[in-house]
């Protein structure tokens, strides 16, 4: 029997949040990865977004931005906050998430 949970480290966007604050983005990092992964709460601390820096032993640091777009809100707070973050444009970056967008053609 293999314990798959032990192979992954969970990362919450707000590590010290009370139980009443449920994160809507989450990251899992393989424990055997040969890289340093840092949660950047200095850039954004929001249950709907997270920024991670991944620095492999060899190679350049990559920034991962993960966002959840809440379709039920009129104003997407996390998206607005992300518009104002300060990350160098020459740095490798991956932007991912659940955009919750809809197009009429998807319903056909």
Kindly tell me if the per-residue pLDDT of 2 is higher than 70: no
Q: What is the per-residue pLDDT for 79?
A: 76
Of the candidates 74, 98, 75, the residue with the CA atom closest to the CA atom of residue 26: 98
pLDDT in tens, 61-79: 999 999 998 877 655 677 7
Write down all domains in the chain, each with its CATH number in brackets. 4-107 (3.60.10.10)
CA dihedral 50, 23, 78, 16 (to 10 degrees): -70
pTM: 0.82
Across the range 27-31, mean pLDDT stands at 94
- pLDDT > 70? residue 42: yes
Give the helix/strand (H/E) hosting 77: helix 77-83
């Amino acid at each position: 029997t293999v314990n798959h949970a032990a192979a992954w480290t969970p990362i919450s966007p707000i590590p010290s949040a009370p139980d009443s604050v449920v994160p809507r983005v989450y990251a899992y990092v393989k424990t055997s990865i040969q890289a340093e992964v840092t949660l950047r709460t200095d850039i954004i601390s929001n249950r709907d977004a997270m920024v991670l820096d991944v620095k492999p032993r060899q190679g350049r640091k990559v920034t991962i931005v993960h966002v959840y777009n809440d379709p039920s809100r009129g104003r997407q707070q996390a998206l607005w906050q992300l518009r104002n973050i300060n990350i160098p444009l020459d740095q490798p970056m991956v932007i991912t998430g659940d955009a919750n967008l809809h197009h009429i053609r998807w319903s056909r």
